Amino acid sequence: MNQEKYLSKKVQSIKPSGIRKFFDVANMYKDIISLGVGEPDFDTPWNAREAAVKSIRKGFTQYTSNSGLLELRNKIAKYQKVRCGLDYDAQDEILVTVGASEAIDLALRALIDDGDEVIIPDPSYVSYMPCVVMAGGSPVAVKCELKDKFSLTPDNLRKAITPKSKVLILPYPNNPTGAIMTKKQLEEIAPIIIENDLVVISDEIYSELTYGGDHVSIASLEGMQERTILINGFSKAFAMTGWRVGYVCAPKPFTKAIYKIHQYGIMCAPTASQYCALEALSSNLNEDFKDVVEMRNQYDMRRRYLVQELNDMGLETFEPQGAFYVFPRVSSLGMTGEEFASELIEKKRVAVVPGDAFGESGKDFVRISYAYSIESLKKAMTKIREFVELKRIQK
């Protein structure tokens, strides 16, 4: 039996993840220093872990409501008010999801009909494009360039818009570039979004990890909250990737539609995980975000170190303002990101991710994650420097 022929055309059209493919190769080598992982190297704060254990001991082992624990939604509402100045009704404008990943999928499925175009900054996180395709939409990549600090410029956005455009995905702070959109930059694109009647899916999962100033949500701009589906979660801010808790904040009709899909497909986010998230959020709201600040300071130190090291060895590296990635350009060595990454593993046993895994515009770059101890980063930088010097001589 040829099982392949039974697979849906949509699924067949989706390419496997470039990161995954690359690391299947990387894993064949021993003693690799990996700078490839996109999750915090910290553990979930202890009190949050304890809260989850307690909830299990107390026997809170049933489903929660489909939208998630009301207590947790109340805290999310408070958090959005405190951090972004946004008002969301915990009752019917907030929904707890299984990670921000589920939220992205749901938001797209709730909005897209066959043929609708979804504009996606390029480079970006690898899930958007396949999720758009699965929802029946057509992804449209907008080039974001180093010269613009990888922000989404009004001109490039305008060029991508057609009569079929319906949704703009706004993933800032950005994985893989570390770019952010400042308030001013958001104010420049907001009128274009409104004028062309687009809905924004704003993926703000890295919102707590900004280094130059506080994160600004596009939903906080005048006239934008009504057309924004804000997505965030606990994975990056509170080092909670394995718990799988994210959420959606959006106007009632959007939330209601998302709720429908979530209800039939997922039921609810895991109960113990929701108690963990509740404690992480409550304690940080009460104590000036001390866990977040501590982690952010560590990331910031590593970020500065990497930018200095990479530029010093002659790889042009833009100073990222958010997330935990640096995105050096390697084309000055006469190589693509893919060639650089492959040869770096082979010669120096250091794994970084080729930039084109995140879209065509990333092909001259590699992504380096600094969710690693400073010791690992230092070792890796020594090896990358040796490699770069070797390539220079060969060139």
Partner 1 sequence: MDKIDKQILDILKNDSRFSAKSIASMIGQTEDVVAQRVADMEESGVLVKYTTVVNSELTGDDYVVALIEVKVTPQSTHGFDNIAREIMAYNEVSSVYLMSGAYDLVVIVEGKSIKNVSSFISEKLSVMDNVISTATHFILKKYKSEGIVLDKENSKKREVMI
Cβ at position 159, least distance to partner 1 in Å: 29
CA distance 113 to 239: 35
Closer to partner 1 by CB, 69 or 231: give it. 231
Maximum CA extent, the chain: 65
Query: Exposed, middle or buried by CB within 10 Å (0-12, 13-18, 19+), for 375?
Result: exposed
Cβ at position 282, least distance to partner 1 in Å: 27
19 makes contact with partner 1 (CB under 8 A): yes
Residues 294-333, one symbol each (x = binds partner 1 by CB under 8 A, - = not), give: -------xx-xx-xxx------------------------
Hey, which residues between 41 and 60 contact partner 1 (CB under 8 A)? 41
Strands, DSSP E only, in the chain? 33-34, 94-97, 117-122, 138-143, 165-170, 199-203, 228-233, 246-249, 325-326, 350-351, 353-354, 366-369
38 makes contact with partner 1 (CB under 8 A): yes
Cβ atoms 187, 337 nearer than 8 A: no
Cβ at position 194, least distance to partner 1 in Å: 33
Cβ at position 236, least distance to partner 1 in Å: 13
Closer to partner 1 by CB, 68 or 123: give it. 123
Given 33, 112, 126, 276, the residue binding partner 1 (CB under 8 A):
126
374 makes contact with partner 1 (CB under 8 A): yes
Given 33, 36, 321, 370, the residue binding partner 1 (CB under 8 A):
36
Q: What angle do CA 229, 246, 149 make, to 5 degrees?
A: 65
Cβ at position 38, least distance to partner 1 in Å: 7
Given 47, 66, 74, 127, the residue binding partner 1 (CB under 8 A):
127
Cβ at position 265, least distance to partner 1 in Å: 20
The pair of three-digit structure tokens given for residue 30, joined into one six-digit string? 């021993």
Given 260, 378, 383, 385, the residue binding partner 1 (CB under 8 A):
378
Cβ at position 120, least distance to partner 1 in Å: 16
- The CA distances from residue 301 to 131, 305, 389, in Å, are 34, 6, 25
Closer to partner 1 by CB, 127 or 283: give it. 127
Closer to partner 1 by CB, 88 or 318: give it. 318
Region binding partner 1 by CB under 8 A among candidate stretches 34-42, 103-111, 260-268, 333-341: 34-42
CA distance 87 to 100: 20
Cβ at position 39, least distance to partner 1 in Å: 6
Closer to partner 1 by CB, 216 or 307: give it. 307
Hey, which residues between 236 and 265 contact partner 1 (CB under 8 A)? none
Closer to partner 1 by CB, 170 or 310: give it. 310
> How many CB atoms are located within 10 Å of the residue 2 CB?
5
CA atoms within 13 A on the CB side of 258: 30
171 makes contact with partner 1 (CB under 8 A): no
Region binding partner 1 by CB under 8 A among candidate stretches 137-145, 180-188, 264-272, 373-381: 373-381
CA distance 42 to 344: 27
Q: Enter the DSSP assignment of 287.
A: T
CA distance 261 to 106: 7
CA distance 27 to 192: 45
Closer to partner 1 by CB, 91 or 308: give it. 308
Spatial strand order in the sheet of 117-122 = 94-97, 246-249, 228-233, 199-203, 165-170, 117-122, 138-143
Closer to partner 1 by CB, 76 or 135: give it. 135
Cβ atoms 222, 277 nearer than 8 A: no
> How many CB atoms are located within 10 Å of the residue 29 CB?
11
> How many residues of this chain interact with partner 1, rule: CB under 8 A?
23
The pair of three-digit structure tokens given for residue 67, joined into one six-digit string? 């939208």
Closest CA to 367 of 340, 387, 395: 340
Q: How far is the first Cα of the chain from the last one, in angstroms, to the nearest whole number?
A: 51
Residue type (1 letter), 263: Q
Where along the sequence are the contacts to partner 1 (CB under 8 A)?
Answer: 17, 19-20, 23, 26, 34, 36-39, 41, 126-127, 301-302, 304-305, 307-309, 374-375, 378
